[in-house]
């Protein structure tokens, strides 16, 4: 086979894209993981605390794969999924990340093998997991600690910055 026959394939974006993906999982070869978490004192009403934060670098996009919630009350008794006085929010660039617009209970407990979510993150997204203290009509909560964890992957977004696509 002549090398000249392969010349049209060299700059073919479809073929190049397939070569850049893992044959087993489909992830880009240059993907990296992020895993951010913290445990803090429960916020008072009107206060917001950041539990986890990750900023994708410029020209990188990614996917949120897991998030997890923690309260010291839930750690003592797994039936206590209600979190009176606490709202949980996952924010992407300052706005709520759909479909997790606001949570008022534990949906993904920390330490129990969180359920995967696979939410795509746009280039240079700032991702935050926060807990907000809110007034509650229910009985006084015994929660003193809250925690959050964000886990995902990110990779270079060739559509935004690949010099190879700008060949003339």
Query: pLDDT tens-digit profile of 40-84?
Result: 999 999 999 999 999 998 888 899 999 999 999 999 998 888 899
15 Cβ neighbours under 8 A, 6+ residues apart = 9
Q: Spell out a b/e string for 65-93, using b for 16 or more CB atoms within 10 Å of the CB, else e.
A: bbbbbbbebbeeeeebebbbbbebbbbbe
> What pTM does this model have?
0.78
Radius of gyration (C-alpha) of the chain in whole angstroms: 21
Q: Does CATH number 3.30.1370 belong to domain 33-158?
A: no
Nearest-CA neighbor of 36 among 71, 61, 65? 65
What mean pLDDT, rounded, does the chain reach?
81
Percent of the chain predicted with pLDDT > 70: 74
Paired with 133 in beta bridges are 45, 86
* Domain spans, the chain: 33-158
């Amino acid at each position: 086979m002549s090398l000249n026959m392969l010349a049209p394939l060299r700059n073919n974006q479809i073929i190049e894209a397939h070569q850049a993906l893992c044959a087993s999982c489909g992830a880009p070869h240059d993907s990296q993981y992020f895993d951010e978490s913290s445990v803090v004192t429960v916020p008072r009403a009107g206060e917001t605390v950041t539990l986890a934060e990750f900023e994708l670098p410029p020209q990188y996009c990614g996917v949120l794969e897991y998030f997890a919630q923690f309260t010291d009350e839930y750690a003592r008794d797994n039936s206590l999924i209600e979190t009176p006085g606490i709202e949980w929010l996952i924010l992407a660039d300052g706005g709520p990340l759909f479909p997790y617009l606001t949570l008022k209970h534990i949906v993904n407990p920390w330490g129990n093998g969180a359920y995967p979510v696979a939410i795509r993150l746009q280039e240079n997204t700032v991702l935050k997991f926060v807990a907000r203290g809110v007034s509650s009509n229910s009985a006084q909560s015994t929660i003193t600690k809250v925690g959050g964890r964000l886990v995902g992957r990110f990779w270079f977004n060739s559509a935004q910055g690949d010099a190879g696509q700008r060949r003339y």
